[in-house]
């Protein structure tokens, strides 16, 4: 058994409780003790002038995409092998930013699942990757120019939704299920805010996911689609324009979470066009403008918020993941709350709160060692100079990531 004892100046646990002058004991990659009492142990690491917090979790990324403004058609012409290698590089950029877990929410076939598995098996270095495989959508709902992206699994009717969900879970080991409850900025056949999958289709998918203990994330723009997703019992509303008071009540009743992806919407406010939108400029239906007031409404109403960026979308580059938390603080969260959104609540959105997201006994030892306190200035998390060291499963990995920082 390998054991490390970290003597830490300040531990930000991720649960909201912070400890001064504490000791964190790590054995075989797991945190076994967090205490302010004297502890025994020879292999001690002096971090008494440092702040230690849980590794960040990004609950919404697209590792296949570059974060550049490439056309989707370019991506579709690339081989699976090319996309998998590119996805691994993107995942490593996230890890170098202090994001020790990323959830990919629509990738072609097994391109990201294979990245997940090679990392998990220790074949190569990367963050913990969770993947849904492809996203379930209605036939044609995400087709562009008559072509369907390999990251879309088309289903029509509850039986097909159930069958494809089972296949994703059983054949591919999907860690979560992603549903297209509505159109998108890049879907030309319906408006972004129009409902797509029906309540019955999403209910069938959600029942199957829940049998396997897997969470369901639903992409939603517009009131009707959010209502449909919530009525189907999904766990996470992604984007979520526009939440009504009734939605908020229902989310509280059902324990659902919101992943707001502000990193992307605030980039769009700056004039960055979404993929495909150039072909259909009226399709956004105001979702860009609504992102900020929507977030503020959710925050005010105490809807649990899990951090997710949509990294990979145009001009939202992999490795910029921590900026999401800066937006939350800009819009009214305290830095401590933003850190919880980016750690423990993000873990909850993936049903991983028993394994990840906080510095507590029994969790994986994924931690960041910081030279300055992000509770004084959250933007310090976006500065690689502040992140001295990155612990992944109890191993310091920052020296292997110098090319990505």
Q: Which residues bind Zn ion (CB under 5 A)?
A: 310
Nearer to Zn ion, 198 or 261 (CB): 261
Task: Give me the helix-helix angle, 262-269 and 287-300, nearest 10°.
Answer: 140
3-state secondary structure the chain: CCEEEEEEEEEECCCCCEEEEEEEEEECCEEEEEECCCCCCCCEEEEEEEEEEECEEEEEECCCCCCCCCCHHHHHCCCHHHHHHHHHHHHHHHHHCCEEEEEECCCCCCHHHHHHHHHHCCCCCCCEEEECCCEEECCCCCCECCECCCCEEECCCHHHHHHHHHHHHHCCCCCCEEEECECCCCCCCCCCCCECCCHHHHHHHHHHHHHCCCCEEEEEECHHHHHHHHHCCCCEEEEEECCCHHHHHHHHHHCCEEECCHHHHHHHHCCCCCCCHHHCCCCCCCHHHHHHHHHHHHHHCCCCECCCCCECECCCCCCCCCHHHHHHHHCCCCHHHHHHHCCHHHHHHCCCCCCCCCCCCCCECCEEEECCCCCCCHHHHHCCCCEEEEEECCEECHHHHHHHC
Nearer to Zn ion, 10 or 186 (CB): 186
Q: What's the rounded Cα separation, in Å, for the pair 400 and 390?
A: 10
Peptide bond into 96 cis (omega under 30): no
Nearer to Zn ion, 31 or 136 (CB): 136
Distance of closest approach, residue 240 Cβ to Zn ion, in angstroms: 12
Q: What's the rounded Cα separation, in Å, for the pair 10 and 201?
A: 48
Distance of closest approach, residue 214 Cβ to Zn ion, in angstroms: 18
Instruction: Show contacts of 112-116: CB within 8 Å, 24+ apart.
Output: 112/63, 112/64, 112/84, 112/87, 113/172, 113/173, 113/174, 114/84, 115/63, 115/84, 115/87, 115/88, 115/91, 116/175
Distance of closest approach, residue 315 Cβ to Zn ion, in angstroms: 14
Nearer to Zn ion, 263 or 298 (CB): 263
Distance of closest approach, residue 62 Cβ to Zn ion, in angstroms: 6
With CA atoms as reference, report the closest residue to 256 among 197, 297, 303: 303
Nearer to Zn ion, 158 or 312 (CB): 312
Distance of closest approach, residue 75 Cβ to Zn ion, in angstroms: 14
Distance of closest approach, residue 105 Cβ to Zn ion, in angstroms: 5
Nearer to Zn ion, 58 or 310 (CB): 310
Nearer to Zn ion, 316 or 352 (CB): 316
Distance of closest approach, residue 184 Cβ to Zn ion, in angstroms: 8
Distance of closest approach, residue 229 Cβ to Zn ion, in angstroms: 15
Distance of closest approach, residue 86 Cβ to Zn ion, in angstroms: 17
Q: Indicate the residue whose CB is closest to Zn ion.
A: 310
Nearer to Zn ion, 125 or 148 (CB): 148
Nearer to Zn ion, 180 or 298 (CB): 180
Distance of closest approach, residue 310 Cβ to Zn ion, in angstroms: 4
Distance of closest approach, residue 238 Cβ to Zn ion, in angstroms: 7
Nearer to Zn ion, 310 or 324 (CB): 310
Nearer to Zn ion, 138 or 238 (CB): 238
């Amino acid at each position: 058994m390998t054991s490390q004892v970290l003597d830490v100046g300040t531990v930000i646990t991720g649960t909201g409780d912070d400890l001064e002058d504490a000791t964190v004991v790590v054995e075989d990659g797991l945190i076994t003790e967090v205490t302010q009492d004297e502890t025994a142990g020879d292999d001690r690491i002096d971090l008494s002038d440092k702040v230690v917090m849980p590794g960040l979790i990004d609950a919404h990324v697209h590792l296949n995409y570059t974060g550049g403004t490439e056309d989707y058609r370019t991506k579709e012409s690339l081989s699976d092998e090319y996309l998998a290698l590119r996805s691994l590089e993107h995942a490593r950029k996230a890890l170098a930013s202090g994001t020790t877990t990323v959830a990919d929410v629509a990738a072609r076939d097994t391109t990201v699942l294979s990245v997940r598995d090679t990392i998990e098996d220790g074949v190569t270095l990367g963050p913990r990757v969770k993947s849904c495989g492809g996203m379930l959508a209605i036939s044609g709902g995400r087709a562009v120019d008559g072509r369907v992206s390999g990251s879309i699994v088309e289903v029509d009717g509850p039986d097909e939704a159930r069958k494809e969900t089972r296949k994703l879970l059983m054949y591919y080991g999907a860690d979560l299920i992603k549903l297209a409850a509505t159109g998108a900025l890049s879907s030309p056949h319906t408006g972004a805010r129009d409902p797509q999958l029906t309540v019955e289709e999403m209910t069938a998918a959600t029942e199957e996911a829940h049998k396997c203990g897997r969470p369901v994330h639903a992409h939603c723009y517009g009131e009707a689609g959010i209502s449909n997703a919530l009525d189907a019992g999904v766990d996470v509303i992604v984007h979520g324009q526009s939440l009504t008071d009734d939605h908020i009540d229902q989310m509280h009743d059902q324990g659902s979470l919101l992943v707001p992806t502000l990193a992307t919407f605030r980039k769009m406010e700056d004039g960055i066009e979404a993929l495909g939108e150039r072909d259909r400029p009226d399709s956004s239906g105001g979702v860009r403008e609504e992102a900020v007031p929507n977030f503020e409404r959710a925050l005010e109403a105490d809807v649990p918020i899990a951090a997710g960026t949509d990294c990979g979308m145009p001009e939202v580059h992999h490795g910029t993941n921590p900026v999401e938390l800066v937006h939350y603080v800009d819009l009214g969260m305290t830095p401590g709350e933003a850190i919880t959104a980016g750690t423990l609540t993000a873990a909850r959105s993936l049903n991983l709160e028993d394994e990840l997201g906080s510095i507590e006994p029994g969790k994986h030892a994924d931690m960041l060692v910081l030279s300055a306190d992000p509770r004084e200035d959250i933007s310090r998390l976006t500065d690689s100079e502040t992140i001295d060291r990155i612990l992944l499963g109890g191993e310091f990995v920052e020296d292997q990531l110098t090319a990505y920082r």
